[in-house]
Amino acid sequence: MTDKDLLSRFEYFGKRALDYRNKVIGLLPEVHRRKLYLQRDCTSIYEYAKKSAGLSEEQVSRALNIFKNFTNKPALKRLLEEGTVSVNKLSRVASIATVENERELAAKVQIMSQSAVETFVRDIRQGVSEAEIVRTHKPESNSLFAQDEVRLDEDVRVRLVELKRRGIDINQLLRDVLDRRDEEIAQAKDQIADELSESSSRYIPARVRSILKKEYGQRCAKNGCNKLSENIHHTRRWALDPSHNPNYLAPLCKEHHQIAHSIDVEFHEMRFR
Ligand SMILES: [Zn+2]
Ligand SMILES: [Zn+2]
C-alpha cells in the first residue's frame, strides 16, 4: 500500500468512526431514560455504553449532561440526538446556549469547525459582539510606555524624553501620529475604491492586499484576536456587492473567518425564511 493509499484509507474509516460515535452518543439519553440497559444485564448506562460501544464514563456523563441542558432547547437537542454534530462542539455551545439563541447556535455549530466554535464561544463569553468583525481603533490608554507592551528603541526614547522635558505632551504627539496614519490609510482606501474597476473576478488586486496589510499588519482584524490572518473576508455579501473595495474587506484568522460566514448564512436564512 502506498503512503497516500494508507492515509486515505485511514481517514475514510476515521471519518466514519467519528460519525458513528456521534450517532451512538445521540441514542444514549433515550436508552438511559427507558432504562433499556437493564435488558442487557447491565446495572448502569455507563456499563452498557462501555460494553456495547466502547464509550468511556466521561463521554457518557458528558452526553447526559448536555442532554439535560438541552431539554428546553429543541434545535440543539435534535443535533445531539441525531448525531449530526460532535459532543465536543455541543458541550462548548451548551455553555452559552439559552432558550432565545439556541436556534441560531444550532445553525452555526453545524458549519463551524471545532476550533471556530471554541473561538466563537470565547468571544461571546468575553462579551465581544459577534457582529463587530471589523476594527475600531481605540486609543491604547497609558500602557504605551510599559516595557512589556511596547519597547522603544533608545534613539526614539531619548527624543521623546527630550520633548517631554520641554513640556511637550508626548501622548498627544503620538496620538496625532497615529491619527494621521489612520487618516492616510482611510484616504488611500477610498482612492483605491474609486479607481477600482468593476470586477467579476474573486482575485483581490495587489494594491488592495497591500493597503490591508498596512492597516492590519499580519494579524486577524477582529479586535483582541492575536492569530495570524489567513483569509481576506468580504464583509458585504459578494453576491450583492461583487467588488474588492478595501473598506469592506477584513483579513481574518481561520476561526473568525468561519464565524463571519456563519453570520452570513444566518442573514441569508433570515431573508428567505
Ligand atoms: Zn469570507
Ligand atoms: Zn481571529
Q: Which band of pLDDT confidence, cut at 50, 70 and 90, is reported for residue 192?
A: very high
Nearest ligand to residue 123 Cα: 2
Expressed in angstroms and rounded, the spacing between residue 233 Cα and the centre of ligand 1 is 4
Q: What is the pLDDT of residue 271?
A: 44
Residue spans per domain, the chain: 3-103, 141-272
Expressed in angstroms and rounded, the spacing between residue 33 Cα and the centre of ligand 2 is 41
- Which one-letter amino acid corresponds to residue 74? P
| DSSP three-state, residue 251 | strand
Where are the extended beta strands (E) located within the chain?
231-234, 249-252
Percent of the chain residues past pLDDT 90, beyond the cut? 68
Expressed in angstroms and rounded, the spacing between residue 257 Cα and the centre of ligand 1 is 6
The percent helix, strand, coil of the chain (3-state, each to 5) is 65, 5, 35
Expressed in angstroms and rounded, the spacing between residue 222 Cα and the centre of ligand 2 is 5
Nearest ligand to residue 260 Cα: 1
Residue 131 has pLDDT above 70, yes or no: no
For residue 9 the three cell numbers come to 484509507
Expressed in angstroms and rounded, the spacing between residue 116 Cα and the centre of ligand 2 is 9
Nearest ligand to residue 236 Cα: 1
How many C-alpha atoms does 139 have within 13 Å on its Cβ side? 11
Q: Which band of pLDDT confidence, cut at 50, 70 and 90, is reported for residue 264?
A: low
Expressed in angstroms and rounded, the spacing between residue 134 Cα and the centre of ligand 1 is 12
Expressed in angstroms and rounded, the spacing between residue 135 Cα and the centre of ligand 1 is 16
